[in-house]
Structures are given as C-alpha cells and as structure tokens.
Structure 1
Amino acid sequence: MSQINVRIGEVIDGFTIEEKIHVGGMAIIYRASHPDIEGRVIFKVPKIVDADDATVIVGFEMEMMILPRLSGIHVPKVYAVGDYARRPYIAMEYIDGETLYPLFEKSPIPPEQVAAIGEKVATALVDLHRQKVIHHDIKPSNIMIRKTGEAVFIDFGLSRHLEMPDLLEAEFRLPMGTAPYISPEQVRQNRGDPRSDIFSLGVLLYHLATGERPFGLPQSRQALRTRLWRDPVPPRKIRPDIPPWLQEIILRCVEPNPAKRYQTAARLAFNLQHPDAVKLTERAERLKRSNLFLQLRAWLKARALPPAEPQPYSATSDPIIVVCVDLSEGFEYLAEALFTETQRVVGSVADARLACINVMKLSAVFMHEAFDSEGRNKHVQRLVELKEWARPLGLDQGKLSFHVLEAMDIAESLLDFARTSHADQILICARGRSNLRRYLGSVSSEVVARAHCTVTVVRAPEPTATSS
C-alpha cells in the first residue's frame, strides 16, 4: 500500500507538520504551523491507497480548485494549495469549534435547538450559493460551528462550482454523495441544482428532531432511488411534541420534487428564525405516510423520469473543446503535433475552454495495477503528465481542465465524455497505419463516425530512425 507520504516534523513549502489529527476515507488531516501565519493550520492531503482511488484523486483536485476561490466566515480560509506534480495538499485555517456530529449522537434534541442549528447552516448555504457553489455533501461531520456561532462547511471534494468544469460529473457515472443525505437529483446524477443542498439539510434537521434517518441507511443504488417516490414517516409520528411549523419546514425540505422545496436557502433560514411566518399546509398535520395508491402513482412518475441531462459548467456560451492527448511511450511526436494544433485552435476560437483528456486502458482479463514499479500511483502520474503537456498553453485555470479516465473501451469513453461535457469540438490524434489497425478499427475513426460534434483528426509523419 502507498499514499501521499507526510512525515511528522517535515517542512513542506514552509509548513511544519506537527501532528496527525484525523484519517478519513478520502483524506488525511494534519495540524501544522507556519512562521508567517498566526495560530494553528490544517494541512490536508489525499489518501491514495489502491486502484479504486480515482474518485479520491479527482475529488481532491476539485477541492484544490474550488476552496481557494471561496471567501467569508462560512468556509475555511486557504493559505496555500499544492499540486499533484509536486505534492498535493491544502493548507487552511484551523476552525476553533466542533462538528455537528457529537450533537447527532445526542439526538433527538429540543425543537428550538433544531431550528437554531438549521438557521445557522441555512445562512451558511446562502453565502455558499451566492458564490455559485453547491456543496453536495451536507452532513454532520462536514459542518463545524465556530466558537463565535457561525456554521462553517468543510470538505469540498464532492462540490460543484457552477462556473468551473465539473470533473466528477465528467469522469464518473455514479451518484456522488453520502447515502443518507443524498438528494433525488444527485441520485439521478444531476449536480447542477442548489436545491440539492436544501434537501440534505432537511435530512439533517429530521435526524436532529427525531433521532432517526428519514430514508434509513441505503446500501444500493436501487435503495437510493426510493427517495424519488417514497415519503418519510412524518416527524410528529415519531415525536408528537415536534411543533407543526417545524414538521412543515422539514417535510418541505425533503420533497422529492425540487420545485416543491424551499427555492432558496435564504427563505429557509428566515422561516427557521421566524416560526410564526411559516405557512402551514397539510404537511404540518401529517401523521402517516402516503397510502398505497399515492405511493404507486409516485413510483410510476419516478420511473417515467427521463435520464438526467448533463449540466453545462457555466451559463456562458464559451465553446468547449475536448483534446484527447495520447501520452503513450513512442508516440511523443503525435502529442507534439496535437499541441501545435491545440495552440492554433486556442488562438482562433475566442474564449474557448479546453478539457484535456487521457484514457488509461483497462484489461478485461488482468487486474489493474494502481502503482508502477517505483510505487507511484499511475493515475496521479498520468494527471501530472497531462498538466505538463498543457502547461505551455498558458491558459487560466477557469479555461482549462484535466481528466484521466480509466476504461476498457477508449473510444466509448472519449465519446461519452464529449457528450456529457457538451463539447463543441474534439481534437484527436491518429496513429500510423497498419494491417491490424485496419482490421480492428482505430479509436480516431470510431470517434469521427459517432461523435455528436466536429472532430479534428491530427496526423503527423512518424519520425525516421537515425543511425549513428
């Protein structure tokens, strides 16, 4: 096993690593210090241990992209960010406070306390959504309360910035989130709706108020889908002392249809702070779940929902160009030719956004080895090589993203990525001719034949061998 190694006492970019304070499923947290920063510092590194860590690598990449762009009291201040080319890390503010997790161990708690906690979190969501970020992992362990009382979101590995490329949506085809809290939109792989965070907050409030999870602890994708049509047991059925106004708020938050939820976190925060202003509906007095007829109707309606459409990363009309970079040994001349063509396109297409992609081919027979002979993670190494290939382009981060995919069918993977990314053009290299390639077909020819957008195939003469 291997991971991004950090040693106690080591100095990294001026940060002295002092103590390991938490090991999570996707990251390791250290306490650190810096001579130019007053107080303690949190030093976070990705936890990369096996072949299934592509989500860890991409999620940490997203957090390194998003967190430095955020500001305000509801997120940690970022001091420095590393890079996979040298050492990936995020050095950030140490939050003097606790997560909400210990409070959940004590649930149920009094309704007034539920509302007070909910108002703090909803207020933090207002600030986050104004910065065009959807957290997508609202849960007790990802929310801290400062000593001064404000809620702070941590762990942005599953987040979506609406004006940045969404690496998770582009590279993975599974719901991303924590099972008890994940919204129906996330189950359907729609990551572009801020009301997903309101649903998750509703789940959190339900648990605080009742001591139970509204949708249990699902262990499969099919179990996750039940929240698209099955309503939870009304909170007042579990705890009769819950006031009608709080049940109204909670059940409105966890409506399967986002159009029936609170449309903004600001409105939710206001209602939690002013219970007298809550407009009561039949939700407030509900004491049992929907009858079998209503359940069947909701189930049929959920089954009829079309697949979620991939969400554009921005409201702008900037053209998206997918650049398929071949980094195979012996084909450096093709990578150079592709770079030249990419430079030309960037110079001629105004405001183009590039998605640089490389596919690591998996074998259907042999198990994928995550590490090379030197103990380096192959996915990380390929990501570093891809960034190094694009570095001379000199593009801003908002106009450039990097994606390392792992697939058995390279052409299918490229085509799926281009479709979900709303690509306007694909740039791809074509390798040299051979009888085998004519028989089996080539990746570039399949992409040309099946792509939904313009495809530019870059060719280059093979370098001639020289003798000394």
Structure 2
Amino acid sequence: MGAEGGRGTDDEAHAPLRPGRVIDGFTLQEHLHQGGMAHLWRVTHPQHVLPLIMKVPRIKGGEDPATIVGFEVEMMIMPMLAGVHVPRFIAKGDFARQPYIVMELIPGPSLRPRLDDAPLPLAEVVDIGIRVATALHDLHRQHVVHLDVKPSNILFRADRSAVLVDYGLSRHDHLPDLLDEEFTLPIGTGPYMSPEQVQFVRNDPRSDLFALGVMLYHLATGERPFGQPTSVSGLRRRLYTEPVPPSALRPELPPWLQEVILRCLEVDPERRWPSAAQLALALQEPEQIELTARAHKRGTAGRWRTLRRWLASVGNEPRATVSAGEQVARNPIVMAAVDVDNAGEELLEQLRETVRRILSTEPGARLACVSVMRTARIGMDQLVDEQGRSHHVRQLVGLKHWARPISQALQLGQGRLTFHVLEAPDPAAAIIDFAQRTQVDHIVMGARANSALRRYLGSVSSQVVAQSECTVTVVRAPSPQP
C-alpha cells in the first residue's frame, strides 16, 4: 500500500505537514523529530494496528542533494528488508506527489543518550556489542551494508533485540548505488566512517564492523578513537594514525576486549573480524579469543612509524572487495555437535571426516565444537565421576581430542576453533538455542546405528533438523558388512 492506494489533489500534496492531515490514508498524529534530512511523524491508519511512524524528507529547497538521493535509496532498500532487526516496512509515496516512508514505530529512545553516560559498565558495553553485531549479521545476510552505524541509528525492542534504522546511506548488493553514482566525496558520519569509505569503497560489510568498533571504544572509554573530523583530510588521518589503546584510557578494561575493539578498528578490512557473526560469537565467548599484540598495547605508534604509514597511504588504492552477501558466505560458522560420551569411534571418525571436508572448502569458516552434558530436570546433578573428575572438564577434553586431527590437518588457529560444553536437560533444545544465539550457518551432528541408543539420539537429530533455522547435516556410521 502506498501512494498508489489513493490520490489527492496537487494542493493537498503540497499542503504543510500538521496534525490531522491525511496522506494516502495515513493520519498525522504527532511530530516526533526533525533531523537534518527528514521529519518523523507518528501516524495511524484504519487498516493497521501496529504503531506507525512516517518519515518525510526535507525538500523545500536549499537542502543538501544527498538528502533527496539518500531518501530515494531508503525507499528502494526498506521494502527489501525483513526480520526483527529492522523496522517493518508498511508503505511509501513517490516524489511526484508526496514522498514518504511509513514503517513500524519502535518505541523508546535510541542508543544515543547512553553516549552521554560513557564510560559505561563493561558488561553493558559487551552486551550492546553482541546485540548490534547480531543485527548487523542479519542485515549483511540480506545483502545490505548499512554504512551509517552509530548510536542514534540503533534502537532496541522489548526483548532487547537491536533494531537498525536509517538506510539513506546504505548499499544493497542487487540495487543501483545512487550515492556512488551521484557524489564524488566520502559520505557518512565522520567519527564512524571506515578507511575504505573515505576511499570511496561502499560495498564491504566490514565497514559496519569498523563503525561498531568506534562505538564500543566510545562507550567503553568515553572518548572517540578518531575524534570528530569535519574535513576529508581529517577523515584520511585514520588511514595512517592509530587510536590510543582503550586500556590506556580505562586500565581495568580486559585484554580480550581491547583485542576485540582494536581488531574492529584495523585499517585493512582483511585484518578485522571476517563477519559480524564471528564478532558476536567472540564477545559471547571471551575466554576463547586469541590474543595478539593488540591486546597488550599501551601506546600508539611513534613518529617515524606513523610517517611510514602516511607515506604508504598516499595514493594507496583500496583493495577490491566482495559484496556483503559474498563476504558472509565466505565466513560461515560451522557447529559440530559431538556426543563425546556415547558415540562410537566409527561415528566420531565419520563426523570428523565430514566436518573436515566442509571446512576444507570454506577457508574462512569458524568451527564451534559443541557437546551437551545432560543435566537432571529435578534434583542435584552429579558433577564428578567415580574417580572425582569433573564431567564438564572431561567432556571439554574429549571435544579437544576429537577436533585435534581436524585442527592439525587444516592448520586451524585458535581464532577459528572454539569449544563449548553446554549443560542442559534437553540436548536438542540446547543445540538449537546455541545455533540461534551464535548465528550458526551449518550444524553437523551424528546419529548412532546402535538400536539401544539410536532412538534417543534420533529424536535429538530429528528435532534439530525440524527446528533449526540453518542447514543441518546428520552423519551416520558405516553399516557393518555382512
């Protein structure tokens, strides 16, 4: 439904925006905000019970041309998006009469007011990072790079799911990039623009991870890593200058969080996290983050090293990059659900070989090895075996032993291999929840042939296949020869 759903006169189309005015069946109720590019109005419609907001561009004359082009971009992209991490699209009106976009109204303030309280508790910083990275991965899987990730463009639903708004600067893999065609200067919000955006590259989803790194740095330290530049020369400084390590501003910040933030802020996208999903998984499992020299930095590069970096940046052309969809596809998270306690050696070997083959064709994949320690629904669980060994530790050791041949064959570093022992009364539910929470792309699990055990695991595998949102491969051990 949109402008095509009803026609008004030219006088009505140019009437001022005011409460009570009806545009294509939408009644303006309350003016919520006037930004640099658009007005926001709360609206109602007799056919919609969902709270609605109408976005109307400022086009009275003398406005930045990017305002109009950006609104056209948002009108193209919004109908292509779906899911909890974007506002639900309702309708749009064309520029010939009255341009507007009507979408779901997400109640509550944006993340912007929290900047005024920075530095925030580190647990909150990490929680925000997980939720925003999860939302970004969902967006990138829909072939969109946001390119304007900042606190004012992030809201939260009642369940704390992050919602990304304002797609006026975004890039869709399968749509014309009007901003790239029309403008010759970098477009974005100065403090959050990635180095490649400064160099006119707009199709790399890792640009959004750079912006998230800037935001996490600011929320954790109260300072912006690259200030607030207002000129192209000021923006270009991020191509050769290093930010002050966040632990130098906040000594209690742990090395693993500094590793995460500074990896987001690398100049070269290839040195950042390969996907938002892998970044979110790292924030959820900090003890398994591979620490590098980034984690222990306490100062910035010296004068001569900065000069060398500046010389290298002069005339440097950015590398060719892949699209958002391709970058996500090249860096999946593969989950191996391994029953280390009950599966036979033949099944474990078959599962290992299947995972190895999958990873050999996905050089950017991250492998999450998962075992479920079944706990009692009622009563106390036995935490140690008869020899006094921890069941949890024993399963963790078993997982690492199972994965060692894969790691050695494919030379998987710690950054691409993690281990997780889940404790739950329902193994299938635990596997499904882990896969959803960490945005797993492919689950590989076993089904035993032994009839005494198969009925139990078969119900687990069938439940995982039925309820998982990702690809599931069920592996069986070879049948014995007669």
TM range (shorter): 0.5 to 0.7
Q: Which residue of 1 aligns with 2:98?
A: 87
Q: Is the alpha carbon distance of 1:314 and 1:167 closer, same or farther for their aligned partners in structure 2, counting shifts above 3 Å?
A: farther
User: Which whole-Å deviations, capped at 9, do the CAs of 1:343-388 have from their partners, x for residues lacking one?
Assistant: xxxxxxxxxxxxxxxxxxxxxxxxxxxxxxxxxxxxxxxxxxxxxx
Q: Which residue of 2 aligns with 1:273?
A: 284
Q: Which residue of 2 aligns with 1:349?
A: none
Q: Which residue of 2 aligns with 1:289?
A: 300
Match of 1:151 among 141, 162, 174: 162
Q: Which residue of 1 aligns with 2:341?
A: none
Q: Which residue of 2 aligns with 1:196?
A: 207
Deviation at 1:96, TM superposition (A): 2.3
Normalised by the size of structure 1, how large is the TM-score? 0.65
Q: Find the aligned partners of 2:266 and 2:318 in 1 and give their Cα distance.
A: 19
Match of 2:76 among 65, 72, 92: 65
Q: Which residue of 2 aligns with 1:423?
A: none
Structure with the larger RCO, 1 or 2 (CA within 8 Å, 6+ apart):
1
Match of 2:67 among 43, 56, 62: 56
Are residue 225 (structure 1) and residue 241 (structure 2) matched?
no
Q: Is the alpha carbon distance of 1:245 and 1:66 closer, same or farther for their aligned partners in structure 2, counting shifts above 3 Å?
A: same
Q: Cα RMSD between the aligned structures?
A: 2.0
Q: Find the aligned partners of 1:189 and 1:308 in 2 and give their Cα distance.
A: 11
Deviation at 1:19, TM superposition (A): 0.7
Q: Find the aligned partners of 2:82 and 2:50 in 1 and give their Cα distance.
A: 19
Q: Is the alpha carbon distance of 1:271 and 1:295 closer, same or farther for their aligned partners in structure 2, counting shifts above 3 Å?
A: same
Match of 2:173 among 162, 183, 187: 162
Are residue 8 (structure 1) and residue 49 (structure 2) matched?
no
Match of 1:32 among 39, 43, 63: 43
Q: Which residue of 1 aligns with 2:399?
A: none
Q: Is the alpha carbon distance of 1:313 and 1:172 closer, same or farther for their aligned partners in structure 2, counting shifts above 3 Å?
A: farther
Q: Percent identity?
A: 52
Deviation at 1:293, TM superposition (A): 2.2
Taking the TM superposition and a 5 Å limit, the aligned residue runs for 1:53-452 are 53-306=64-317
Q: Which residue of 2 aligns with 1:357?
A: none
Gaps of 5+ in 2: 1-13, 327-482
Q: Residue 190 of structure 1 contacts residue 311 of structure 1 at CA under 8 Å; is this kept in 2? A: no
Q: Find the aligned partners of 1:252 and 1:308 in 2 and give their Cα distance.
A: 18
The letter of the residue matching 2:105 is Y
Deviation at 1:102, TM superposition (A): 1.2
Q: Residue 190 of structure 1 contacts residue 308 of structure 1 at CA under 8 Å; is this kept in 2? A: no
**Residue aligned with 1:147, SS:** coil
Deviation at 1:40, TM superposition (A): 2.2
User: Which whole-Å deviations, capped at 9, do the CAs of 1:312-332 have from their partners, x for residues lacking one?
Assistant: 9999xxxxxxxxxxxxxxxxx
**Residue aligned with 1:269, SS:** helix
Q: Which shows bigger deviation, 51-60 or 82-91?
A: 51-60
Q: Is the alpha carbon distance of 1:311 and 1:284 closer, same or farther for their aligned partners in structure 2, counting shifts above 3 Å?
A: closer
**Residue aligned with 2:159, SS:** coil
Q: Residue 149 of structure 2 contacts residue 211 of structure 2 at CA under 8 Å; is this kept in 1? A: yes
Q: Find the aligned partners of 1:248 and 1:276 in 2 and give their Cα distance.
A: 12
Q: Is the alpha carbon distance of 1:162 and 1:231 closer, same or farther for their aligned partners in structure 2, counting shifts above 3 Å?
A: same
User: Which whole-Å deviations, capped at 9, do the CAs of 1:17-41 have from their partners, x for residues lacking one?
Assistant: 0010000000100001111111421
Deviation at 1:286, TM superposition (A): 0.4
Q: Find the aligned partners of 1:275 and 1:146 in 2 and give their Cα distance.
A: 25
Gaps of 5+ in 1: 316-468
Q: Residue 98 of structure 1 contacts residue 146 of structure 1 at CA under 8 Å; is this kept in 2? A: no
The count of corresponding residues between Structure 1 and Structure 2 is: 314
